[in-house]
Structure 1
Amino acid sequence: MSPDPFATFMESIQALITGGFGMGESLLQPGWRQYQILILIAVALISWALHHLSGNWIQAWVRRRDGWSKWQLRMIVQIKRRLGLIWFAAITSMIYLVMQNITWPSRSYLIGIFATLVSVWVCIAFATRLVRNRPMRRLVTWGLWIYATLYFLNVVDSVSVFLDSLALHVGDFRLSVLTVITALVVIGLLFAVARIFSQTTAATIRKNQDISPSMQVLAVKGIQLTFYGIAFFMGVKAVGIDLTGLAVLSGAIGVGLGFGLQKVVSNLVSGIIILIDKSIKPGDVISLGDTFGWIQTLGARYASVVTRDGKEYLIPNEDLITGQVVNWSHSNDFVRLDIYFGTAYGDDPHVVRKLAIEAAQGVDRVLSFKAPVCHIVGFGDSSVDYILRFWIKDPTGGLTNIRGNVYLALWDTFKEHDISIPFPQREVRMLEADLPAGVEK
């Protein structure tokens, strides 16, 4: 009959507690154990003081440096936060090495354990910075810290047996607490490695000028999905979880999610279609309803459109497929703008057209090789109506402002050449029979 895992774990805990009480009693008596504890307390106080002193020195030193990248500044911040542990690990390690050569090895046993533990904690804290997701990073960090502590206290086997005994059985499928914890830690580490590979590959793809922006986004998304998918399945397989037992359950969940997430799936498929047919790509200037702006990013579910007033609209990909979208820079960046104006009947239309074209050509952003044109479009009630057409190549710079500049150039030019811009005038005549009482003619 196999021993009860819970009983084995409780026996280990009781032994650990008993050993702790025994060590506490031994510390009350003068001896090397008490001396080691006093040394560790003194080192902790010295490390705390050095933490503040060296932290202020590093902060002042960094402020005198310019041009540092973000990852360098983040690394300095992480080092500054953990200076106390770094000092403690360094000082205790030196003391341990000195005592190993001066005193008996057993007289530096506690110092060696603390030096090793703190050194491992510091290394884990820096290594887990590779995990980008903050909750996952904390989970991996604490998991590795706890495992390292239990390992150096020689209670890993007992704790593992106890956690493995806390399991869920569904037919032939078995899922224990130990398996879940191990899977989360392993998957978190593999995700960190996958993120490094995907970012390196994505940077290489973005530097390739032969690939269009839309295909770059599609390739980057595909690489990220592939790497993260491989990391997940490798992590699950590494801890021995059999996914075949979850096939039926996952199928039922998939059907339910399919009905509940129709819009999400539609946006995902629409995003893939947009990236493949290249109808919209990052940097394009589009109009969708009352929204006018340029595409900043193309996501899996939505497109980010930034307008001239700084507002960022998250437009679902499905709307970009099914709605009427005006892409001002689909095939090229040339955009023709039209403005309307009128002049008095007494002004020569030939002169007005010539002056209007010259005024538009003198405005910045108006293209000269696509010369502006001006035509008469009608004879109004009080003016001769014209249309002025001109081309620009940078719609991202705005449309309203360039129209305003052209109108202002027309105003200055017409004022300089005595061309009048009429406005409707009304003459009111009051007949004698309609005059109110007391009003003279």
Structure 2
Amino acid sequence: MDSDFSRLLLSAWSDISGFAGTLTGRKQLYQLGLIALLALIAQLIRMWLSPRMRSWMRTLEGETKWRLRVLLTIQQRIRIISFVAMIYIANLVVAEISPWPSSRYLLELAASIATAWLVVGFAARLIRNVVLRRLVAWGAWIVVTLYYLGLLDVAASVLDGMALEFGQFRLSLLMIVKAVAIVGLLIAAARFVAGAISGRIRRNEEISPSMQVLAVKFLQVALYGAAFFIGLKAVGFDLTGLAVLSGAIGVGLGFGLQKVVSNLVSGIIILLDKSIKPGDVITVGNTFGWINSLGARYVSITTRDGKEYLIPNEDLITQQVVNWSHTNNFVRLDVYFGVSYGDDPHLVRRLAIEAASRTERVISARPPVCHIVGFGDSSVDYILRFWIMDPTGGLTNIRGNVFLALWDAFKDNGITIPFPQREVRVLEGSTLRAKAGDGAGEGAGPARGGALD
């Protein structure tokens, strides 16, 4: 194997040396100098045009996103676009001056490689993931360059010669490169298809929000998994050993990641039973807010103060959850208050109902009601019940607005809100005795520190 690999390296070096030897002629040196000059001019064009184009793009308010992305892609590739345009013009000019193919061989080669680089650059923009996009772009640039230079077969032979063998198992560097390239392209295609189908699923109003999330998750897992395994199978990987290995790894992970697996299963259960969905207003423990998204491991909840809580899915299964908008958005709120015994309870009830009805967010379809709930030590106690249908707007603020409306209504109509008072009476025959040293004798007035007998 070592001797075969050495012969491959010698053959590759011979091909590279032969190609380099074709560049030493006078015509070839002229062409190389012209190519270098055009590359320098393209760089100067980029330095002059790129900032001006970016400034012009900032003035395009209201332009569609896809057009802005196209303009941004062009702005980032001004140098290669300018070089391709100039190299083709140079080819036409040289063809008119000298009809011999050798006079423009390197120019045509540079034009072909630059055009392929430009096409790869534009095509790679379809991949949204930055790391994957760069990986695919650089791999494609290397492949097309080696292809036009006639060194692709030589490079493939060298990479295939760099391999590890264990019995019947053989893993070469060429297989790894092919696997990365094919899997990357398939994953990019799967992501594009998943994004397109997910958009249509989310726009379908006949599907509930929880089922939309579940369908999108299963679609992504199916497409990404298929892309991964198809890519490995396409380059000749034996998936039988991988299946056995993944089974063993799965058992180990099942014991070591019980909480993670529990959260994953709980997330699937939540999506299937539709107990909560994005947009619902829930209370978990002391956390009150609305659901932003349902993840594979947690649920994102945003509270009224702008904090975002990540609640594990397992907690939503095992703990008590109050869903304020499970079947509908109607929420009933209770407000307790008390008034003096001297006020007419019929008038108090009518004023309370009218005050709540005038408060913003209190719905009139379900009118407020007010009832006496008890006779306290200092007041007659009432409960005022009213309905809202927008719990995402908050509960504390609407209660505060109703209390303020009650205050204004009671003040305008002479209704008093009592507070605890204490009355001290001196019984007949009692005397006030001052402590020693206070300068007050028996029968004195209400001296400080006095005591009653």
TM-score of the superposed pair, with normalisation by structure 2 = 0.90
Structure 1 residues 358 and 158: CA distance shift in structure 2, 3 A: same
C-alpha distance in 1 between matches for 2:276 and 2:403: 32
Instruction: Tell me the residue number matched to 1:80.
Output: 75
301, 311, 323: which one pairs with 1:327?
323
Gaps of 5+ in 2: 441-446, 448-453
Change (3 A) 1:304 1:73: same
* Larger Rg belongs to: 2
* 2:408 match: 412
| Structure 1 residue matching 2:125: 3-state secondary structure | helix
2: CA distance, partners of 1:354 / 1:439: 58
Counterparts of 1:123 and 1:439 in 2: how far apart (Å)? 107
| Aligned residue type for 2:294 | L
1:8 maps onto 2:8 in alignment: yes
Aligned residue number for residue 106 of structure 1 = 102
Per the alignment, residue 231 of structure 2 pairs with: 235
Measured after TM superposition, the shift of residue 32 of structure 1 is 2.1
CA distance in 1, matches of 2:81, 2:126: 19
- Could you list the runs of 5+ residues in structure 1 that have no partner in the other structure? none
User: Shift in Å at residue 56 of structure 1?
Assistant: 3.2
**Deviation sequence 1:245-303 (CA, Å, 0-9, x none):** 32322221121122122222211111111111111111111000011111111112211
Say whether 1:49 aligns with 2:44.
yes
For the 8 Å contact 2:291–2:302, the answer to whether it is kept is yes
Equivalence map 1:385-396=2 (5 Å): 385-396=381-392
Q: Which amino acid aligns with 1:387?
A: I
> What is the match of residue 92 of structure 2?
97
Q: Pairwise mapping of residues 10-409 of structure 1 onto structure 2 (< 5 A)?
A: 10-13=10-13, 15-17=15-17, 19-20=19-20, 22=21, 26=24, 31-103=26-98, 104-409=100-405
Decide whether the 8 Å contact of 1:173 with 1:245 is kept in 2: no
| Aligned residue pairs, count | 436
The alignment partner of 1:329 has SS state of coil
Deviates more, 1:32-41 or 1:63-72: 63-72
What's the offset of the Cα at 1:129?
2.1
Q: Which amino acid aligns with 1:84?
A: R
8 Å CA contact retained: 2:15, 2:151:
no
Which deviates more, 397-406 or 170-179?
170-179
Residue 415 and residue 40 in structure 1: after superposition, are their counterparts in 2 closer, same or farther (change >3 A)?
same
Q: More displaced, 103-112 or 423-432?
A: 423-432
TM-score of the superposed pair, with normalisation by structure 1: 0.92
Query: How far did 1:122 drift?
Result: 1.9
Change (3 A) 1:193 1:436: farther
Contact 2:88 2:111 in 1 (8 A): yes
RMSD between aligned residues: 2.3
Quick check: 1:344–1:422 contact (8 Å CA) kept in 2?
yes
Summarize the Cα distance change of 1:244–1:438 in structure 2 as closer, same or farther, 3 Å threshold: same
Query: How far 1:395 moved relative to its partner?
Result: 0.4
User: 1:23 Cα shift?
Assistant: 6.0
Percent identity over paired residues: 57
Check conservation: 1:6, 1:162, Cα contact below 8 A: no
Rounded to whole Å, the distance in 2 between the matches of 1:294 and 1:353 is 34
Q: 1:169-197 CA distances to partner (integer Å, 9 max, x unpaired)?
A: 23322221111111111111111111121
TM-superposed deviation, 1:93:
2.1
Q: How many Å separate the matches in 1 of 2:350 and 2:71?
A: 65
How far, CA to CA, are the matches of 2:373 and 2:91 in structure 1?
Answer: 95
